[in-house]
Amino acid sequence: MSETFGQRLSAALDLHGALCVGIDPHAALLSAWGLDATAEGAREFGLRTVEAAAGRVGVVKPQVAFYERYGSRGFAALEDVMSAARAAGLLVIADAKRGDIGTTMEGYAHAWLEPGSPLEADAVTLSPYMGADSLRDTLSLAIHNGKGAFVLTATSNPEARPVQSAIVDDTLAVGDHEHVAARVAHDVNEANIGAPGALGPVGVVVGATVERAAFGLTDVALAGMPILAPGFGAQGAEPADLVRLFGYVAKGVVANESRSILAVGPDRLATRIDQRAALYRESSHG
C-alpha cells in the first residue's frame, strides 16, 4: 500500500472535516430503531449507518463490544459492517481497546490489522497499560501493513484521571513533572519517526472533555499524531469548540459522535450527519 494510514486520514479530514460517526448498536438504540437486540439487528444497524455516512464523512468507528456481546454471530455481523464501510470508501477505526503482551498481542494485531483478515480495519484502538513498549510490535505491524492505531492516552471518563494524570518518577521522565499520559504519547509517537505527511499512522485517544494541561498533553506533545477525540455531541463538547480545545493540533482531530447522531433514528440519520459534519467544517475554517 503506497499511502500510509496517516496520509489517508489526513486526506479524509481535509475532504470531509473532523466528524467520525460512531457505530454503537446498544440495546436501547436498537429498540428505538425498531430492531431486535440480536446479531442481525446489530448488523442491520451498522449497515444503515454506513450507508448514511458514506460520502458525508471520512471515518466511522464501530464499537466492537456491541457486536462481541452476540458471540460468533456478532463478530460475523461486525465483519459485514466493516467490510461494507471500507468498500464505501470510509476509513474504519475498530474500537476494540486491545492491550496485552507477547504472542497474545500479536494475535490481536493480526486480527485487526492484517490485510485480508475477516476483521480487517484501517486502524484499531489499543490500551498501553501493560506498558507502552508492549505495543511496539503491533505498531510496527500496523505501519508495515499501511494501517494505523489510536492508543488510549487521556480518556473522557473521569475515573481514569488519577492514573493517566499521575506523575512518572523514573530516569526516563521528560522534565520534572511528566504525566503518564504524556509519557504514553511520547513513547508511541516514536513509531511515527520518518513517516511521510503531516500525520503519522500512530495516534492517541484524547477526550474532548478533558483538560489537556492536567495530563501534560501540550500541542508540542501531540504534534504529528492523529487524535481520536470522544466526548463531542452527547458528552458535551460541540463542533465550535474544536479549535479552542485542540489549538495547533486541531487539524489532526477525529471528532467522534455516536449518540448525538444515532438517536435521531434511521430515517433522519443522513440529514443529521450532514448537519453535524458541516458544523465541524465551519469550525475548522472559522
Q: Residues near 99 by Cβ (< 8 Å), separated by ≥ 6?
A: 105, 126, 127, 128, 129, 130, 134, 135
147 is catalytic: no
Q: Which of 61, 97, 147, 251 is catalytic?
A: 97
* CA–CA dist 256, 22 (Å, integer): 6
Contact 192, 202 (CB under 8 A): yes
Closest CA to 112 of 127, 130, 97: 97
Which amino acid belongs to residue 249? Answer: V
* CA–CA dist 60, 201 (Å, integer): 17
* Phi, psi angles (nearest 5°) of residue 148: -135, 175
Count of C-beta atoms within a 10 Å radius of residue 66 = 23
Q: Greatest CA span in the chain, whole angstroms?
A: 57
Q: Which residues are catalytic?
A: 97
